[in-house]
Structure 1
Amino acid sequence: MSLYLFVVAALAGPTILPWKDALTKAYQDITDDQVLRSLSYDLARKARSCPARSFAVGSTLSSDLNFSQPVIVNSDVNPVLCLVFSGQGPQHVAMGRELSTVFPVFLSAVKLCDEILVGTYGQKSFLERTGLFIPNEQAKLPENQVWPIEEVVYSIVFMQLALVDLVKSLGIEYTYAIGHSIGEIAMGYASGHYTKKTAVGIAAARATAMAQVSGNGSMAALGACYHRAKYMIKQILADANVEEGLWIAAINSPKDVTIAGDSKLIDKLVLIAQGRKIFVAKLKVTCAFHTPLMDLCEKDFRTMAKLAFAEGTGTPVIRTMSTVDPGWLERDMDEDYCWDNISRPVLFGKAVDDIVKQRGPDNVVFLEISPHPVLQAYINHCGGKAFSLVRRPNPKTPAKNTGEYHQLLEGIGGLFSAGFKAINFAELCATPDGQQDFIQCKLPEYPYNRSKCWSESASDRSMRLREKRRPLASTMFRFNCETHPDLTGHVIFDRPIFPASG
């Protein structure tokens, strides 16, 4: 079933509802694909000049569509887009399957990644052994998201590389990119540092090396600032009578960090945080990433990474904010950088904060490239505006499980409603094979507010428009030196001036 993004825009917020009703009345019975694609394109194109915007996604423009809350967009603001690539955690068995069915470019990218993995790096087919992504295939991984580290790495990287290709094919232009942990692999691809071959090679090196230290520890997300987290770690280590074993693995925002280390100490941290009513969530990973515990796999990683970097790296086409080094990325994303990405803490919060401060909160929007949004809260805590493309199904709220196709169009609609303009709606509304065969849609009359500002009778209008009396210019007030000789000394620029004392 085809879905369409319908953007309803008006000159003022109160006009949104009658304009939507007029459009619905005119097109609610239309099911022709070409007409609906043309209508979607025409509405979006006209909406660029309107400050009040709302949108909905559906198979037809029916009266029961759930339109978003109308927002007012400042036409003088032109925010840029920053892609944000998540790390491990959001993987799930249904990831990318509907996108593979609807968008050939997504499925082709996933298959190409798998071909590179097998043909260039001599690994077993990820798609065959897991059943992920391919339509009508049964997933062979558990639904609890606790997968072998190799499958986690490949699933995240394949999904993100394919999403980058899909975003480009839909005509969405981005200016910046940020990657969280393993997300910097796909960030390198999006920015032009890596080819798809290099990115898959780095993923293979990382997956192979990580497998050597799988089970070396655990990780937990903690809703506390950096200093409070350090104090809690100090307390736990003192109670355990050890000098080390817990580290801050990521600084995600001014209010959030990730802790990694020994599994028993992580469990102790979880209990203490829960007792103090601090948000804490143990992550579904089997390694203590971004800590000294990863040093044991450095040799294995570098050995395999040399093949991935055999052809070097490319010239970036956009700017990237590093989460390894503070600030804009100023060095090559080579083997050394990739190892630092594994072993050093993730400075995600600082990266987002730097972009928000440099561009201004109204001049940049963030789009999370992930199987499920896990970084949006962190971005919001840093003052940014975050959007996502897809989400994993939630068994607790089946009515909200609209599917990846629907969610993708919703995400694009959210970007547009936030004032983001660099969306090529001709490509977005084209056929799956790229044909832009749009036709002219006859839109209903725009619902202008034609009420009069006031009611006025003919006699009232005559009184309002008649010539006004000029009492201070009557003949009895006219004077000159002849009529009033005393004014002879009160002449300025040949004009008599009547003294105030008179």
Structure 2
Amino acid sequence: MLDTRSAECALIFPGQGAQRPAMGERWRDTPQWRLVGQVSEWTGYDVAELVLRTGDERLRSTDAAQLSIFTMSLMALDYLTEHQLIGRVRACAGHSLGECTALVAAGALSAGAGARVVAARGAAMRVATERLPGTMAAILGASSDIVEQFAAAARAEGAQVWVANVNGPRQIVVSGTSPGVDAVAQAAKSARLKVVRIPVGGAFHTPLMASAAPLLRQALDAVEFEATGIDVVANVDAGLYSAARWRDLAEQQLTAPVRWTAVLATLSRLGCTRLVEVGPSRVLAKAIGRGEGAPTVRYFGYPGEWEP
């Protein structure tokens, strides 16, 4: 378990979208590469194939993306801990999938239990997307209230679309069926807002993911959540919870929005003015930015990339 005596540092972990082909290559000759074999044993996936030789299209698949990102983040976390680069950690948080990694980092889940949950989560979400295909888009430049109005108007016309991620005060992601997301995108463009399509095949963090819940619940019921002195901030409401609540929270997260802005606010209230993103890309650090009042964000993904 990581040291908990400081109230200044929090670890944050990215979710789906942080993956890229051959992202494991730089870890092959390090002691951390053992984790690739361990995750493969725990889950039945060939993780080395995923992080070394799998192409972009397959790697975007929910099950492949989630397990590969989790493994990459786990190796980076192990390196940071082994080399004592981060010192004391007050809290952890993760964006969507990253919440599972945060629970492992905090000691609430063992690495093996976390890997099994991630594998089940990715597989269940992949099945759900095959049953009910969907898509996502980021709306840039508007508040969550404005984007929610766009989504509500689309739903009033029969569309299926919801706010799925509140990533920043002006970065809101909607998710739903293609016609639903198209309707919100058109409303946003009419309001002269920027729309960035997200190349996914599912309506993540919406009611359309409900069919993934039973398979994920089976995996959650098969693992133990332990009490920990390191707080983990929940995606669903930015709250802090005991070990007994995390099964329900992890299941709720499938269909609930990721309230990332609120998560960051909770970390700030805990005294975490320094954040360290741990994983294969700087996606969270870039989104948080360096504006006035923003926390100091550092990144670690590979040996040699530590930003002290």
TM over 0.5: yes
Structure 1's 237 and 375: CA in aligned 2 closer, same or farther, altered over 3 A? same
> Is 2:210–2:255's contact at 8 Å kept on the other side of the alignment?
yes
The DSSP-based 3-state class of the residue aligned with 1:286 is: coil
Q: Which residue in 2 is equivalent to 1:74?
A: none
Matched, 1:327 2:275: no
Q: Write the mapping of 1:71-86 to structure 2, written as runs, cut at 5 A.
A: 80-86=8-14
Match of 1:151 among 64, 86, 110: 64
> Is 1:250–1:259's contact at 8 Å kept on the other side of the alignment?
yes
Matched, 1:372 2:289: no
Q: Which residue in 2 is equivalent to 1:228?
A: 146
Matched, 1:116 2:116: no
> Is 1:249–1:259's contact at 8 Å kept on the other side of the alignment?
yes
Matches of 2:283 and 2:245 in 1, distance apart?
24
> Is 2:58–2:64's contact at 8 Å kept on the other side of the alignment?
no
Deviations 1:62-112, CA, capped at 9 Å, x for gaps: xxxxxxxxxxxxxxxx972211111111110132321333x32x2112221
Matches of 2:249 and 2:170 in 1, distance apart?
27
Matches of 1:304 and 1:237 in 2, distance apart?
33
> Is 1:109–1:165's contact at 8 Å kept on the other side of the alignment?
no
Identity %: 23
How far off is 1:376 after superposition?
2.1
> Is 2:164–2:256's contact at 8 Å kept on the other side of the alignment?
yes
Q: Write the mapping of 1:200-211 to structure 2, written as runs, cut at 5 A.
A: 200-211=115-126
> Is 2:9–2:91's contact at 8 Å kept on the other side of the alignment?
yes
How many residues align? The count is 296
Q: Which residue in 2 is equivalent to 1:218?
A: 135
Structure 1's 329 and 378: CA in aligned 2 closer, same or farther, altered over 3 A? farther
Higher CA-based Rg: 1
Match of 1:160 among 73, 83, 103: 73
Q: What is the TM-score when the length of structure 2 is the normalising length? A: 0.87
Q: Which residue in 2 is equivalent to 1:317?
A: 229
Structure 1's 156 and 212: CA in aligned 2 closer, same or farther, altered over 3 A? same
Gaps of 5+ in 2: 1-5
The DSSP-based 3-state class of the residue aligned with 1:375 is: helix
- Counterpart AA for 2:66: V
Matched, 1:182 2:91: no
Matched, 1:280 2:231: no
Q: Write the mapping of 1:390-469 to structure 2, written as runs, cut at 5 A.
A: 390=301, 404-406=302-304, 408-409=305-306, 411-412=307-308
Matched, 1:389 2:307: no
Structure 1's 354 and 207: CA in aligned 2 closer, same or farther, altered over 3 A? closer
Match of 1:352 among 261, 264, 276: 264
Q: Which residue in 1 is equivalent to 2:24?
A: 96
The DSSP-based 3-state class of the residue aligned with 2:109 is: coil
Match of 2:108 among 181, 185, 193: 193
Structure 1's 108 and 175: CA in aligned 2 closer, same or farther, altered over 3 A? same
Gaps of 5+ in 1: 1-77, 119-123, 134-138, 391-403, 413-502
How far off is 1:145 after superposition?
7.4
Which one has more relative contact order, counting CA pairs under 8 Å at least 6 apart? 2
Match of 1:301 among 199, 203, 216: 216
- Counterpart AA for 1:181: S
Matches of 1:364 and 1:92 in 2, distance apart?
29
Q: Which residue in 2 is equivalent to 1:396?
A: none
Deviations 1:456-488, CA, capped at 9 Å, x for gaps: xxxxxxxxxxxxxxxxxxxxxxxxxxxxxxxxx
Matches of 2:8 and 2:288 in 1, distance apart?
15
Matches of 2:126 and 2:233 in 1, distance apart?
28
> Is 1:91–1:145's contact at 8 Å kept on the other side of the alignment?
no
